Amino acid sequence: MLEYSLLYPISTSTRCAMKLDGMWKFRIDFDGIGEKEGWFAGLPGNEMIPVPASFQDFYTDKDIREFTGDVWYETDFVVPAAMKGSCVFLRFGAAAHRAAVYINGKKAGEHEGGFLPFLAAVPEEAVSGSLCKVVVKVNNELTETNIPCGCTKVLKNGKKISKPYFDFYNYSGLNRSVWLMSLPKASIFDIDLTYSVSGCDAEIGYSVRTTGDGDVSLSLFDEDGKKVAEASGSSGIIKLSDAHLWQVRDAYLYRFSVRLSSGDVLLDTYDLPVGIREVRIEGTEILINGRPVYFKGFGKHEDSDIVGRGFNIGVMKRDFELMKWIGANSFRTSHYPYDEEVYRLADREGFLIIDEVPAVGLFESLANFLDAGTGKGARSFFSKPTTPVLLKAHLRAVEEMIARDKNHPSVIAWSLMNEPETSEENCVPYFTEVFNTARELDPQKRPRTFAMEVSSSPEKCQCIHLPDFLALNRYYGWYIKGGYEISDAEIMFREEMDKWKALNLNKPFIFSEYGADTYPAEHKLPSVMWSQEYQNEVFEMLHRVFDSYDFVKGEQAWAFADFQTTEGLMRVNGNRKGIFTRERQPKEVAFLIKKRWDSLPLDYKSEKRV
């Protein structure tokens, strides 16, 4: 289990949390000399950069935007007197893709994986009110032993270049907030919650882990601040009659308040927003609180102008408003866990999240978006000498994702990979361990899935038995039989779906990706590929197919908005499959989708409709 807590940082009467966001010193290690010259004790120069943000798009120099290697950050901080006597940490929301942290010139922590939090302990001698210096070395090189997968090559001029096996830009740096936080020496380390719903009655199972001895007690408050239940002990069950349930697009959040005490002395307290909801799969139905749900939504990216993958609270707000406008109720965090603030807002807004670990690129191809979309396999990927190292990193990321996100009511499923190669039996042991680990780690035993590209066909996929529901990425009408051949694309799509139907898997299917690149200024009559008119035609065709199969229980279009990718012949300054532009304005297809989604009931195609 993790040696550090991933509870969201908050300030209470016993713990403090403050952000260190702002302008930090910055240095790119073009010559690989930072370690040798002791940059960990302090950076040369006076260059400054915002945190959180990706570093690539601030500059006008292409060598900076495409830089692959080490970049260094530095800032000063003072530990407030209120933190004295506590355990003090720096908490990094994410550092892509690996980081080493130095406090006052001494290494305080390191982490691999670019999308989940980690802690670095502030040494006790620094907790004295004096000025402290933190330096962070962040490396963005891609490998086949960490996720997301790719490789790093060297050009003939000696400069490194990132070669991702995935179709989004390798934005990197300190992309999320950095916190200075304190915890009591005896503290609340972790909280596990489970739910059982029967009509309007509910049971909340809880388990609280602490770092020291003490008595655990807890209280549950409704949205009006009224205490509705209390209990004692580190584990147990709270029973509620006439509970306010957390429903799709109709959220209700209780406040779960935990206290750790020794006699009359309060050692620690932590408050957690709680949404009471139960997730089950019965046959081809996905049930939230016993009610069938049809998924309407998107695959998304954390991607916006200038700050890249850096968390942008304004863009987050706009995205949720657009999703509400268009009639969506869900999204997948393609292809990595998002900033925690996204989940907190989804909890409040009642959106369903398929939470995806950053296991993308498990398919050796520098044009993965094309090779995967057209069905080209890469059969040796899970038989390499480095595969055990990759698996270890993958499992660690699964553990960190579940530890961080397990108590969000919005998170109703785990996606454990995106578009891996699955046609050879050598992938089965790898997949099995990942799926079993996710089930073991999750107290709520949420459904598990992975996003399957077209090579993962009903005839070839070796891992169909593992997911609790199937998520298909399909690009009929674009990578497969695009343009005037779209009529053949529809026939081929139906032929594939008939084969899935014939397997009689008795599992729900959702379409986790589908769409067509569209340049927002392009109009053509009659339509051609890349035009707004053609994007509409593709979606109309796909919707006809979706509606023809009762076991299809959701559609998440690719993608919510245009996003940046590595430059290349198949991309016009990024992936243009967005329903909205990168600036978050609607393309014509957005109005077509809104009309459809507004008309579809939440329990669309369910046999349990009332």
pLDDT digits (tens, 9 = 90+) for 288-343: 999 999 999 999 999 999 999 999 999 999 999 999 999 999 999 999 999 999 99
pLDDT band of residue 583 (cuts 50, 70, 90) is very high
Q: Give catalytic residues, as residue numbers.
A: 419, 513
From residue 440, alpha-carbon distances to 177, 303, 396, 403, 465 in Å are: 30, 32, 13, 12, 17
Span 460-474, average pLDDT? 96
Domains of the chain: 16-183 (2.60.120.260), 188-277 (2.60.40.10), 290-599 (3.20.20.80)
From residue 425, alpha-carbon distances to 336, 455, 462, 471 in Å are: 26, 14, 6, 20
Question: How far is it, in rounded angstroms, from Cα 510 to Cα 237?
Answer: 34
Question: How far is it, in rounded angstroms, from Cα 451 to Cα 462?
Answer: 14
What region, left, alpha or beta, does residue 105 occupy, with left being phi > 0 and alpha being psi -120 to 50 degrees?
Answer: left
Single out the residue of 455, 450, 565 nearest to residue 166, CA to CA.
565
Look up tokens 């900076």; give the residue: 64
Look up tokens 């596990």; give the residue: 192
Q: What would the pLDDT profile of 144-200 be if each residue is shown by its tens digit?
A: 999 999 999 999 999 999 999 999 999 999 999 999 999 999 999 999 999 999 998
Asked whether residue 368 carries a pLDDT value surpassing 80, the answer given is no
Tokens of 543: 């919707």
pLDDT of residue 332: 98
Q: What would the pLDDT profile of 214-266 be if each residue is shown by its tens digit?
A: 999 999 999 999 999 999 999 999 999 999 999 999 999 999 999 999 999 99
Tokens of 237: 């069950």
Instruction: Please give the angle made by the CA atoms of 408, 414 and 416, to the nearest 5 degrees.
Output: 145
Question: How far is it, in rounded angstroms, from Cα 262 to Cα 243?
Answer: 32
Where would I find the H helices in 504-599?
Answer: 532-546, 588-599
Q: Are 97 and 139 in contact (CB under 8 A)?
A: yes
pLDDT of residue 124: 85
Single out the residue of 599, 597, 525, 504 nearest to residue 554, CA to CA.
597
**564, burial (CB in 10 Å: exposed 0-12, middle 13-18, buried 19+):** buried
Q: How many C-beta atoms surround the C-beta of residue 519 within 10 A?
A: 16
Single out the residue of 182, 358, 340 nearest to residue 272, CA to CA.
340
Q: What would the pLDDT profile of 475-524 be if each residue is shown by its tens digit?
A: 999 999 999 999 999 999 999 999 999 999 999 999 999 999 999 999 99
What region, left, alpha or beta, does residue 576 occupy, with left being phi > 0 and alpha being psi -120 to 50 degrees?
Answer: alpha
Asked whether residue 596 carries a pLDDT value surpassing 60, the answer given is yes
- In the chain, the percentage of residues whose pLDDT exceeds 90 is 90
Please tell me the pTM assigned to this model: 0.96
Q: What would the pLDDT profile of 42-75 be if each residue is shown by its tens digit?
A: 999 999 999 999 999 999 999 999 999 999 999 9
Q: What would the pLDDT profile of 24-42 be if each residue is shown by its tens digit?
A: 999 999 999 999 999 999 9
